């Protein structure tokens, strides 16, 4: 995208020797961005599964005494807590047991 924009601007507004310099620089910049982007995307590993919820903070939707519902990352989950938690309080996910989250009050 950047390469095309600079190419058009160089061909329209710059005199003959400078338009080639700008086009070469734009091509080099575009290639560098591609290489850096590809290397970055290969180093990062996608995180999937319920184990990625451990450590996240959510909000209690119903009283947790000892079970109830919490909202974590926009999803509603069944949760279990050792301490009583009131609706609206923040909770942190400590473990996942099937489809039930183990939470603690933050």
DSSP per residue, 37-60: HHHHHHHSPPP-SGGGGTT-EEEE
Residue 61: the pLDDT is 97
Q: In this predicted model, which residue has the larger pLDDT, 44 or 58? A: 58
Pairing of strands 75-81, 67-72: antiparallel
pLDDT of 29 > 90? The answer is no
Question: pLDDT for 54-100, tens place per residue?
Answer: 999 999 999 998 999 999 999 999 999 999 999 999 999 999 999 99
Is 57 in contact with 92 (CB distance < 8 Å)?
A: yes
Q: pTM above the 0.75 mark?
A: no
Q: What is the per-residue pLDDT for 9?
A: 77
What confidence score (pLDDT) does residue 96 get? 95
Separation CA 78–CA 102 (nearest Å): 9
Mean pLDDT of the chain: 89
**How many whole angstroms separate alpha carbon 101 and alpha carbon 93?**
6
């Amino acid at each position: 995208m950047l390469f095309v924009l600079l190419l058009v601007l160089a061909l329209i507004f710059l005199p003959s020797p400078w338009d080639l310099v700008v086009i070469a620089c734009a091509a080099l910049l575009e290639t560098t961005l591609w290489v850096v982007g590809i290397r970055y995307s290969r180093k990062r590993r996608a995180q999937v599964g319920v184990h990625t919820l451990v450590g996240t903070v959510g909000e209690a939707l119903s009283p947790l005494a000892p079970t109830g519902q919490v909202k974590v990352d926009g999803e509603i989950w069944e949760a279990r807590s050792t301490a009583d938690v009131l609706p609206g309080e923040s909770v942190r996910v400590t473990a996942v047991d099937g489809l039930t989250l183990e939470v603690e009050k933050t």
